[in-house]
């Protein structure tokens, strides 16, 4: 799996989120996360970016506790870099 697919999924999800299409964006963030982890990106800056973007979606949807968990994961990964 090419990293460009992960980037494209994240970018498309960002566009949808910014348009307020949260339900359409969420599965794209989930897919991007799954693929990034599958191709060996558990401690990669792109994973941090996806987690942060997904957290923004969750916050916009009023899902604060879920957003906080993703932000904590992103911070933990960022701290290891």
Q: What pLDDT is stored for residue 3 in this prediction?
A: 84
* pLDDT per position as a tens digit, 43-53: 688 899 999 99
Instruction: State the Cα–Cα distance between residues 41 and 18, nearest whole angstrom.
Output: 25
Instruction: State the Cα–Cα distance between residues 33 and 48, nearest whole angstrom.
Output: 10
Q: Smallest Cα–Cα separation from 39: which of 67, 4, 74? A: 4
Q: Which domain holds residue 42?
A: 3-80
In the chain (81 residues long), the average pLDDT of successive 10-residue segments reads: 88 98 98 91 82 98 98 91 67
Instruction: State the Cα–Cα distance between residues 7 and 50, nearest whole angstrom.
Output: 9
Domain count, the chain: 1
Q: What pLDDT is stored for residue 81 in this prediction?
A: 67
Q: What's the CA dihedral at 15, 17, 19, 22 to 10 degrees? A: 140
Query: Can you give the CATH number for the domain in which 65 is found?
Result: 1.25.40.10
Q: What pLDDT is stored for residue 21 in this prediction?
A: 98
């Amino acid at each position: 799996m090419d990293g460009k697919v992960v980037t494209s999924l994240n970018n498309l999800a960002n566009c949808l989120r910014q348009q307020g299409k949260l339900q359409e964006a969420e599965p794209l963030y989930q897919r991007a996360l799954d693929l990034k982890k599958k191709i060996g990106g558990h401690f990669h800056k792109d994973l941090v970016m996806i987690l942060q973007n997904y957290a923004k979606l969750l916050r916009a949807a009023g899902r604060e506790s879920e957003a906080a968990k993703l932000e904590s994961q992103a911070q933990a990964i960022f701290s290891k870099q």
